[in-house]
Amino acid sequence: MSGTKKIKFLFVFFCILYFQLTSASAALYIIMDDNFTALHNSTLTIPLVLNNTGNNLTDITLQISNLTNTSQMLPITITNESKKNISAGSTESYTINYPIAAYIAPASYAVKINASGNESGTIVSASKDIIVSVNASTSFSVPTSAAITISPGTNKSTSFGILNSGNVNISNISITQASTLKDDDNDTITLTITSSKDLSLLKPGESATIYVAARASSDIDTGNYNTTLTINSNEISSSITFNVTVALSLCKYGTAGSVFKLEIREPDSGDDFFPADNISLDLKIKNTDDEDKDVVVVADLFDATEGKFEEIEAEEEGTIEGDSYGYFKLELKLPSDLDESHDYKVYAKVYEDGNEEEQCYEENVDIDVKRESHSVIIESIGVPESVECDSIFELEAKLVNNGKNEEDVKVSVKNTELGIAEEKTLTLEKGESRKVAFSLSVPKNASEKNYTLILAAYYHYVNEEYEESIATSKILNVSENCQRRSATIVADVPKAYTGEELAITLTLFNTGELPTTYTISASGYDEWALLSKIDPPALVLEKGESGTSTIYLTPKNVTGTKTLKVKAIYDSKFVEKEISVEVGKKISALSSYQRFVKNLSNLSGLDYATINIALALIAIFLFVMLLRARK
């Protein structure tokens, strides 16, 4: 071998040796299984070991390809700082939590894993190809139970969803009811099941809404009814427990919607009431919608022991503005036959007028019904709207025994003007109500007016005495066919003078058909006269008879024509007359001196004052002359 060839051989040898030495210092290997099995919508745990057969490595990184897109590498975060470096000739274990997407089709997927590290500025890497097999999963996602509350004789619907939560198609889905819902009398609840879409095929991730419409027989017993709804398909089956609660609700179709909220402010829970009491309800209702709502508000009493409404409804209508409160007051009249041993609730509901099926809300409060030992009430009293004179009418009263004991009751009706005084007795059991009727007459000579009838009930009969009583009154209008009462007034009015008492004589004629008492009064004189008296102030006159009464007045310092009114009042009527009075000033007679002065005035044409002065001067002159003559 020539020298040149030796040199070339040695060069190649050392290059190969250097390459081998260099390669040996940078060797990184991934040690792991080649195949993995996974389920969709899960996390696959992939363990691996990195073997560093070379020098120290830092900044270790891991990547794994996307299951469905191998060109997309997903970084793996290494949270443990100690695992980010691998010493020369060492190994390190790692775990990759690999997410398997929901509904990914069952298949075998090629996955690439890359690892790398830094050796003094040189990147050293390794890769590994594995297979991830996603298994087929056939499953439904359905609720374990569904429920609905319904009232007898009504319809109501509810719904639930079914989801193909697997990664294969589910076909030919059907839903069946396992058992009939019925009570002991074979009154039934009918379920009608429909779907929001065709159930012949449900792809992975697809869902459908199942609607269950329930109709309860009007006679079905209240309570809970259960059945199983079985969901079948070609691939899988599942089931759901379906509960129907039959309960009486004031809302015709059960509570529905969310527009209204209702608060019963009165009565309070636990308030005490007695049979036949009135319960005043104070309700506060919120309209949560932005628009005004026409509403109907209803209240009723519910016997929780018997499970029935008493059907004594009170109702009001109104409008509640959008996003505002409405306030309503209702009054319930409690029945008289309530059992104090039962539990009672006062219900109130509000619904949108014409749309109760979709918007109805109700609330209730408990009340306590109590009874006193002895209590009788007069619940109502009725008479005709009007009756004629000389006729017979019927008064009907309803009495209720509100106490705890049987009661012997005496009922009386009275009116002294009509000569009515009747009594009846009866026995009332606890909680019993009964009507009592009286046949009463109106005399022919009754006046046409309103009369007050007094009805009284006496009870708690002990030792031949009634220890308690209650009374009420009723107005009876009497008109038509009655003997008439009437009158006329004639006035004798003399000349009146200022400051002198005036006597006006009234003659009153009874022009009616009955003896009548007339009360005399005067008015309209205050500005011009003072009233002294009316004598007599009343006259009792037989039919066709007349009588007189005198009104004494003293005119004030006035003159001229003045008026006053005189009135004769009888029964609820009156006759009135306006009287005119001429008032003047009275002039006294002239003395001899006044006549002498008047004559001189007439002869001389001088006034009274001048003549009086002249006469006075003459008198003084004569007096002086007389004195001188005596001297």
Nearest residue to 582 via CA among 484, 498, 491:
498
For residue 6, the SS3 value is helix
DSSP per residue, 510-576: E-SSS-EEEEEEEES-TTTEEEEEEESSEEEE-TT-EEEEEEEEEE-S--EEEEEEEEEEETTEEEE
Does the structure show a pLDDT above 60 at 7? no
Same-domain pairing of 517 and 616: no
Q: What is the pLDDT of residues 374-431, one digit of tens each?
A: 999 999 999 999 999 989 999 999 999 989 999 999 999 999 999 999 999 999 998 8
Same-domain pairing of 42 and 104: yes
DSSP per residue, 65-103: E-SS-TTSEEEE----GGGG-B-TT-EEEEEEEEEEPTT
Token pair belonging to 20: 């081998």
Q: What is the pLDDT of residue 199?
A: 96
Yes or no: say if 317 and 297 are a contact pair by the CB < 8 Å rule: yes
CA 258 vs. chain centroid, Å, equals: 16
Same-domain pairing of 273 and 340: yes
Q: How far is CA 236 from CA 39, 122, 172, 178, 200, in A?
A: 17, 56, 10, 17, 13
Yes or no: say if 310 and 342 are a contact pair by the CB < 8 Å rule: no
Q: What is the pLDDT of residue 52?
A: 96
Least confident of 197-206, 248-257, 358-367, 480-489: 480-489
Domain boundaries, position 106: 24-134
User: 599 pLDDT band (50/70/90 cuts)?
Assistant: low
Q: Which residues contact 12 (CB under 8 A, 6 or more apart)?
A: none
Q: What is the pLDDT of residue 21?
A: 41
Least confident of 13-17, 125-129, 509-513: 13-17
Does the structure show a pLDDT above 60 at 248? yes
Once rounded to an integer, what is the mean pLDDT over residues 573-582?
91
Q: Which of 421, 439, 474 is the last residue of a domain?
A: 474
Q: What is the pLDDT of residue 9?
A: 46
Same-domain pairing of 353 and 392: no
For residue 626, the SS3 value is helix
CA 390 vs. chain centroid, Å, equals: 50
Q: What is the pLDDT of residue 83?
A: 92
Q: Which residues contact 267 (CB under 8 A, 6 or more apart)?
A: 273, 279, 280, 281, 346, 365, 367
CATH number, residue 163: 2.60.40.10
Q: What is the pLDDT of residue 623?
A: 72
Per cent of the chain over pLDDT 90 is 73
Q: What is the pLDDT of residue 310?
A: 93
Same-domain pairing of 282 and 336: yes
* Rg of the chain taking only CA atoms, in angstroms: 57
Token pair belonging to 341: 């041993």
Same-domain pairing of 185 and 269: no
12 within a domain of the structure (yes/no): no
Yes or no: say if 534 and 589 are a contact pair by the CB < 8 Å rule: no
Same-domain pairing of 268 and 242: no
Other Cβ atoms within 10 Å of 204 Cβ, number: 22
Q: What is the pLDDT of residue 486?
A: 82
Same-domain pairing of 130 and 151: no
Per cent of the chain over pLDDT 70 is 92
Q: What is the pLDDT of residue 627?
A: 75
163 within a domain of the structure (yes/no): yes
Yes or no: say if 170 and 267 are a contact pair by the CB < 8 Å rule: no
Once rounded to an integer, what is the mean pLDDT over residues 605-628?
72
Separation between Cα atoms, residue 374 and residue 143, nearest integer Å: 58
Q: What is the pLDDT of residue 592?
A: 61
Once rounded to an integer, what is the mean pLDDT over residues 42-58?
96
Once rounded to an integer, what is the mean pLDDT over residues 240-250?
91
Average pLDDT over the chain reads: 89
Same-domain pairing of 467 and 500: no
Q: Which of 567, 584, 601 is the last residue of a domain?
A: 584
Q: Which of 369, 389, 423 is the last residue of a domain?
A: 369
Q: What is the pLDDT of residues 84-124, one digit of tens each?
A: 999 999 999 999 999 999 999 999 999 999 999 999 999 99
Q: What is the pLDDT of residue 438?
A: 96
Separation between Cα atoms, residue 435 and residue 400, nearest integer Å: 9
User: 63 pLDDT band (50/70/90 cuts)?
Assistant: very high
255 within a domain of the structure (yes/no): no
Nearest residue to 560 via CA among 585, 579, 578:
585
13 within a domain of the structure (yes/no): no
Q: What is the pLDDT of residue 596?
A: 64
Does the structure show a pLDDT above 60 at 495? yes
- Total of domains in the chain: 6
Separation between Cα atoms, residue 86 and residue 84, nearest integer Å: 7
Separation between Cα atoms, residue 620 and residue 338, nearest integer Å: 115
Q: What is the pLDDT of residue 14?
A: 45
Yes or no: say if 295 and 328 are a contact pair by the CB < 8 Å rule: no
Q: What is the pLDDT of residue 253?
A: 82
Q: What is the pLDDT of residues 321-339, one digit of tens each?
A: 999 999 999 999 998 889 8
Q: What is the pLDDT of residues 526-576, one digit of tens each?
A: 999 999 999 999 999 998 999 999 999 999 999 999 999 999 998 778 899
- DSSP assignment letter at 434: E
Q: What is the pLDDT of residue 416?
A: 95
Q: What is the pLDDT of residues 202-237, one digit of tens each?
A: 999 999 999 999 999 988 988 899 999 999 999 999
Least confident of 6-10, 148-152, 352-356: 6-10
Q: What is the pLDDT of residues 147-185, one digit of tens each?
A: 998 888 888 889 999 999 999 999 999 999 999 999 999
Token pair belonging to 542: 């037989």
Does the structure show a pLDDT above 50 at 15? no
Q: What is the pLDDT of residues 16-37, one digit of tens each?
A: 444 444 444 458 999 999 999 9
448 within a domain of the structure (yes/no): yes
Same-domain pairing of 28 and 128: yes
Same-domain pairing of 268 and 362: yes
381 within a domain of the structure (yes/no): yes
Same-domain pairing of 381 and 466: yes
Q: What is the pLDDT of residues 268-307, one digit of tens each?
A: 999 999 998 999 999 999 999 999 999 999 999 999 888 8
Does the structure show a pLDDT above 90 at 628? no
Q: What is the pLDDT of residue 16?
A: 41
619 within a domain of the structure (yes/no): yes
43 within a domain of the structure (yes/no): yes
